[in-house]
């Protein structure tokens, strides 16, 4: 796996936008990611849709390599860590997390995160219902209202960008979007769709591939 990054300066802070669908904030020694949707593949299998468990395993392999690469003290998860009820994927994740006992997880709960305590039992998770404010940023899953003097980092919409080549060539890539006073993270899980709806407020867009991050 190749880990590449594009650094941006936002609100006086340097953020490394990686091609592995997460941000490293060096000043806080934190990995910032969103929309892992753990339990989604098992939920689909339970409902008769044959989705391989390797999807989750590959996502966690990427996260493991990112943790070893950056050696963060914390993970800031901007919503939708889990997708559904307690299931085999969730239990697999709990066992997988045991190798990182010193990493603190802050989870700003998303629309898919459930209230059941058993989902979070045994995990070193600081649960936040609405937002986490770590100046100069406010972390929130899906922004409903803005404060003009704050900068938000969010997830939820699984942003993508359509890259046009010669003739009819088209490719859709996950991306980071900067929209006025917020940055939207791509979904960390590769088992998600991509929303490439054009937003006229987007000021900067960074597409990601397996090997690079580039501004479009």
Token pair belonging to 6: 């594009």
Name the residue with higher pLDDT: 54 or 45: 54
Residue 214: pLDDT band with limits 50, 70, 90? very high
- Which fold would CATH assign to domain 5-215? Purple Acid Phosphatase; chain A, domain 2 (3.60.21)
- Express each pLDDT in 2-30 by its tens digit: 999 999 999 999 999 999 999 999 999 99
Where in the chain are the domains? 5-215
Q: What does the pLDDT average to over 100-105?
A: 92
Q: Name every residue whose Cβ is closer than 8 Å to that of residue 146 and which is 6 or more positions away in sequence.
A: 152, 181, 182
**Is the distance from CB of 3 to CB of 49 less than 8 angstroms?**
no
**Predicted pLDDT at 108:** 94
**b/e sequence 98-134, b meaning 16+ C-beta within 10 Å:** eebeebebbbbbbebbeeeeebbeeeebebbeebbeb
Over 50: is that where the pLDDT of 49 sits?
A: no
What's the confidence (pLDDT) of residue 4? 98
Q: Which of the 8 DSSP states describes residue 154?
A: E
């Amino acid at each position: 796996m190749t880990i590449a990054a594009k650094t941006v300066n936002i609100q006086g802070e340097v953020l490394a936008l990686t091609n592995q669908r997460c941000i490293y904030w060096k000043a806080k020694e934190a990995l910032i990611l969103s929309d892992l949707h753990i339990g989604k593949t098992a939920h689909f299998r339970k409902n008769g849709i044959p989705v391989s468990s390797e999807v989750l395993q590959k996502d966690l392999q990427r996260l493991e390599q990112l943790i070893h690469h950056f050696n963060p003290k914390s993970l800031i998860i901007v919503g939708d860590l889990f997708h559904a009820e307690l299931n085999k994927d969730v239990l697999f994740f709990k066992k997988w997390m045991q190798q990182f006992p010193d990493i603190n997880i802050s989870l700003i709960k998303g629309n898919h995160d459930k209230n059941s305590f058993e989902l979070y039992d045994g995990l070193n998770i600081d649960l936040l219902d609405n937002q986490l404010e770590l100046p100069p940023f406010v972390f929130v899953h899906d922004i409903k209202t803005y404060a003009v003097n704050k900068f938000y980092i969010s997830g939820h919409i699984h942003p993508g960008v359509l890259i046009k080549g010669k003739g009819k060539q088209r490719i859709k890539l996950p991306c980071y979007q900067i929209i006025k006073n917020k940055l939207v993270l791509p979904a960390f899980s590769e088992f998600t769709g991509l929303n490439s709806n054009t937003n006229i407020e987007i000021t900067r867009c960074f597409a990601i591939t397996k090997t690079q991050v580039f501004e479009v």
